[in-house]
């Protein structure tokens, strides 16, 4: 007699821990830049993103796509910044990364693929129309951030750019995310009876 075994549930980070892991490197980057300058801050950022990936993997046993891509960009452009002593690389990283995210979302949509469900890791249940609308919105928001960063990095001193990255881009992103709640509520798919939300830490 064969006995079927259920696949192990996919472990997820607690929302509070996930937020801390996402914000930690950025906060450290800001603090170290204030005290020691952009090159030491860049080195600290590289170490921090590797540490957050290690913590995330130790809990979930997988690496989310966007944090992993972001970490690769931080390591590549951060290394160029640190070893060549040219802060323009770490500034340009933001422009290229957001442009890449926007292009990836629209490129996948062109081939009738949706990337956002994987990015949000099933945290939200939307119908197909909802995901498509959300994809368009996030794609153009990423392009907007890329253009905005490019304007700021060319216009202001490095310390001002760091402040913009922490106190400008982050609040804008949070405000934009909250602004999508009405759309997500309109296209939300209710959980089927008997399903329980995943509460793994």
Each domain of the chain, given as residue ranges in start order, spans: 15-186
**Phi/psi of residue 188, nearest 5 degrees:** -70, 140
For residue range 165-175, what is the model confidence (pLDDT) as tens digits? 999 999 999 99
**What three-state secondary structure class fits 52?**
helix
pLDDT for the residue 7: 46
**Residue pair 201/59 in contact by the 8 Å Cβ criterion:** yes
Q: In the numeric block, which tokens belong to residue 164? A: 């913009």
pLDDT for the residue 16: 74
- Which segments within the chain are labelled E, that is strand? none
**Residue pair 181/189 in contact by the 8 Å Cβ criterion:** no
For residue range 131-143, what is the model confidence (pLDDT) as tens digits? 999 999 999 999 9
**Residue pair 140/102 in contact by the 8 Å Cβ criterion:** yes
CA dihedral angle for residue 140, residue 146, residue 151, residue 154, rounded to 10 degrees: -170
The reported pTM is 0.83
pLDDT(1) > 50: no
């Amino acid at each position: 007699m064969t006995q079927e075994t259920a696949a192990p549930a996919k472990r997820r980070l607690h929302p509070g821990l996930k937020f801390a892991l996402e914000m930690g490197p950025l906060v450290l980057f800001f603090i170290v830049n204030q005290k020691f300058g952009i090159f030491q801050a860049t080195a600290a950022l590289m170490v921090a993103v590797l540490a957050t990936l290690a913590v995330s993997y130790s809990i979930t046993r997988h690496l989310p796509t966007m944090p992993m891509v972001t970490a690769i960009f931080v390591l590549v452009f951060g290394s160029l910044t640190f070893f060549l002593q040219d802060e323009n690389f770490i500034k340009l990283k933001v422009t290229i990364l957001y442009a890449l995210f926007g292009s990836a979302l629209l490129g996948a949509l062109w081939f009738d693929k949706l990337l956002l469900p994987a990015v949000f890791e099933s945290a939200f249940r939307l119908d197909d129309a909802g995901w498509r609308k959300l994809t368009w919105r996030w794609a153009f928001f990423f392009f907007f951030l890329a253009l905005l960063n490019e304007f700021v990095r060319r216009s202001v001193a490095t310390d001002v750019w760091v402040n913009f990255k922490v106190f400008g881009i982050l609040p804008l992103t949070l405000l934009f995310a909250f602004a999508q709640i009405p759309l997500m509520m309109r296209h939300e798919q209710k959980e089927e009876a008997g399903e329980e939300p995943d509460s793994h830490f």
